[in-house]
């Protein structure tokens, strides 16, 4: 028991859970201030989240979790290798566009495998988009945060431009609907009747597991992490740190790109809107990665958690609350998880004291 309490994993997880609890308390206070009469009802709706709508609500939770598992993985994988990928938004939308483009234009590919080709395209495109900040970081010493922010905006404007030029539905000012390359439902739609869940969630979870194996069980993953911990030391140990930084970024980008493909081929009627707004899914990957402690398995749960409270936020409108309160809560949770170093120190000091006291 003591060993478990002192283990790093436990302390990390309890820091996350502590942040979540404080975040919920903060959210409740916001509800109390804005509408005391309905605050309790609204708050319980957030808590019951994905369960609110029965099987449909659960299915929606999984559907909403799919893209943010991928962007969370993108951010988390980069974190593990010492990089902050704030560019998941750009990589996501580039992936989304590539998937939609292939789905609409590649009429020569048989329908049965078209969705697979389109998803592969999204994966590759996201990776290529991240190649730019990766290259600049590795070879030109450019801060990847700034480079990724620039790439976000370039990606957004470029996708808007390309949508208008290639797959445009002018009447609705959005991209066309890819009808031929919808990801199979594999029976999930009957299980979770009325929701948009599909094979995508299983793909996302599989990718997360692969990411976990690569990071934790292979030499390649070890090298990537080593370069993140200490670039000079790994260089000295004979690793090609430049190549590793580049690859870390590309893999991270590919995850986000695939996330874009998974969302826009879900057959839920999502279109790429031609508006000058960055894709929110990319930024939502950041809290997911932080809550999941950048561990791919943790990220699966974190993404489902964030999706779960978002479904709760949707149903909370019954109590005349605005769903943005969920974003406020998530922001509070991230803000607190930025303190995680402090929390961890406190928690480990607490347990240390307890064991010493005996």
Residue 222 engages other proteins in binding (rule: CB under 8 A): no
What is the contact mask toward other proteins in residues 285 to 314, using x (rule: CB under 8 A)?
Answer: -xx--x------------------------
Residue 149 engages other proteins in binding (rule: CB under 8 A): yes
By beta-carbon proximity to other proteins, the closer residue of 94 and 197 is 94
Tokens 């090298």 found at: 223
Q: What is the DSSP string of 79-129?
A: HHTT---TTHHHHHHHHHHHHHHHHHH-TTS-HHHHHHHHHHHHHHHHHHH
Site size for other proteins, by CB under 8 A?
A: 48
CA distances from 122 to 14, 42, 159, 165, 193 (A): 36, 38, 13, 19, 28
Burial 117-130 (b: 16+ CB within 10 A, else e): bbbbbbbbbbbbbb
- Quote the least distance from Cβ 153 to other proteins, whole Å: 5
Give the one residue of 18, 65, 73, 136 binding other proteins; rule: CB under 8 A: 136
* 169 SS3 class: strand
What is the contact mask toward other proteins in residues 34 to 73, using x (rule: CB under 8 A)?
Answer: xx--------------------------------------
- 8 Å CB contact between 315 and 321: no
Which among 63-71, 188-196, 203-211, 277-285 is the span making contact with other proteins, rule CB under 8 A?
A: 277-285
- Quote the least distance from Cβ 145 to other proteins, whole Å: 6
Burial 301-323 (b: 16+ CB within 10 A, else e): ebbbbbbbbbbbbbbbeebebee
Which among 166-174, 186-194, 214-222, 281-289 is the span making contact with other proteins, rule CB under 8 A?
A: 281-289
By beta-carbon proximity to other proteins, the closer residue of 86 and 266 is 86
Which among 66-74, 115-123, 294-302, 339-347 is the span making contact with other proteins, rule CB under 8 A?
A: 339-347
Binding residues for other proteins restricted to 157-176, rule: CB under 8 A: 157-158, 160-161
Residue 32 engages other proteins in binding (rule: CB under 8 A): no
- Quote the least distance from Cβ 30 to other proteins, whole Å: 8
Residue 268 engages other proteins in binding (rule: CB under 8 A): no
Reported residue count of the chain is 358
Q: Which long-range contacts (CB under 8 A, 24 or more apart) does 138-144 make?
A: 138/241, 138/242, 138/243, 138/245, 138/246, 138/249, 139/242, 139/246, 144/83, 144/84, 144/85, 144/87, 144/249
By beta-carbon proximity to other proteins, the closer residue of 180 and 242 is 242
**Residues with Cβ within 8 Å of residue 271, at least 6 apart in sequence:** 169, 172, 174, 175, 176, 177, 264
By beta-carbon proximity to other proteins, the closer residue of 35 and 348 is 35
By beta-carbon proximity to other proteins, the closer residue of 37 and 191 is 37
By beta-carbon proximity to other proteins, the closer residue of 116 and 328 is 328
What is the contact mask toward other proteins in residues 102 to 121, using x (rule: CB under 8 A)?
Answer: --------------------
Give the one residue of 51, 319, 339, 351 binding other proteins; rule: CB under 8 A: 339
- Alpha helices by DSSP H, listed for the chain, are 2-6, 8-34, 36-48, 54-80, 88-105, 111-140, 144-166, 188-191, 199-217, 219-229, 231-236, 241-264, 280-291, 296-315, 324-337, 340-357
- 8 Å CB contact between 318 and 311: no
What is the contact mask toward other proteins in residues 313 to 332, using x (rule: CB under 8 A)?
Answer: --------xx-xxxxx-xxx
- Quote the least distance from Cβ 135 to other proteins, whole Å: 9
- 8 Å CB contact between 168 and 159: no
Site residues (vs other proteins, CB under 8 A) = 30, 34-35, 84, 86, 132, 136, 140-143, 145-147, 149-154, 157-158, 160-161, 276-278, 283, 286-287, 290, 321-322, 324-328, 330-332, 334-335, 337-339, 341-342
């Amino acid at each position: 028991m003591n060993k478990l309490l002192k283990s790093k994993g436990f302390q990390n997880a309890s820091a996350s859970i502590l942040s979540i609890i404080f975040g919920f308390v903060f959210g409740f206070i916001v509800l109390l201030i804005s509408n005391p009469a309905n605050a309790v009802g609204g708050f319980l709706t957030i808590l019951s989240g994905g369960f609110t709508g029965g099987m449909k609500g659960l299915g929606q939770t999984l559907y909403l979790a799919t893209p943010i598992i991928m962007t969370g993985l993108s951010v988390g994988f980069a974190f593990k290798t010492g990089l902050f990928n704030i560019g998941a938004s750009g990589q996501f939308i580039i992936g989304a566009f590539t998937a939609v483009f292939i789905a609409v234009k590649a009429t020569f590919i048989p329908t049965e495998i078209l969705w697979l080709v389109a998803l592969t395209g999204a994966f590759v495109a996201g990776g290529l988009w991240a190649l730019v900040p990766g290259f600049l970081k590795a070879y030109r010493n450019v801060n990847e945060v700034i480079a990724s922010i620039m790439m976000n905006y370039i990606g957004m404007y470029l996708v808007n431009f390309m949508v208008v030029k290639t797959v445009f539905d002018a009447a609705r000012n959005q991209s066309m609907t890819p009808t031929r390359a919808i990801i199979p439902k594999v029976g999930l739609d009957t299980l979770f009747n009325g929701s948009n869940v599909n094979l995508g969630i299983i793909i996302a979870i599989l990718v997360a597991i692969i990411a976990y194996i690569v990071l934790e069980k292979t030499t390649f993953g070890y090298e990537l992490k080593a370069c993140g911990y200490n670039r000079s030391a790994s260089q000295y140990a004979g690793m090609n740190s430049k190549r590793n930084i580049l690859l870390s970024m590309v893999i991270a980008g590919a995850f986000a790109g695939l996330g874009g493909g998974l969302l826009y081929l879900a057959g839920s009627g999502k279109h790429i809107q031609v508006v000058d707004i960055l894709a929110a899914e990319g930024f939502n990957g950041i809290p997911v990665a932080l809550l999941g402690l950048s561990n791919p398995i943790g990220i699966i749960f974190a993404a489902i958690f964030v999706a779960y409270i978002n479904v709760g936020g949707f149903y909370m409108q019954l109590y005349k609350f605005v769903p943005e309160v969920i974003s406020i809560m998530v922001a509070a949770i991230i803000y607190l998880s930025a303190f995680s170093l402090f929390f961890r120190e406190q928690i480990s000091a607490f347990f240390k004291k307890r064991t010493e006291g005996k």
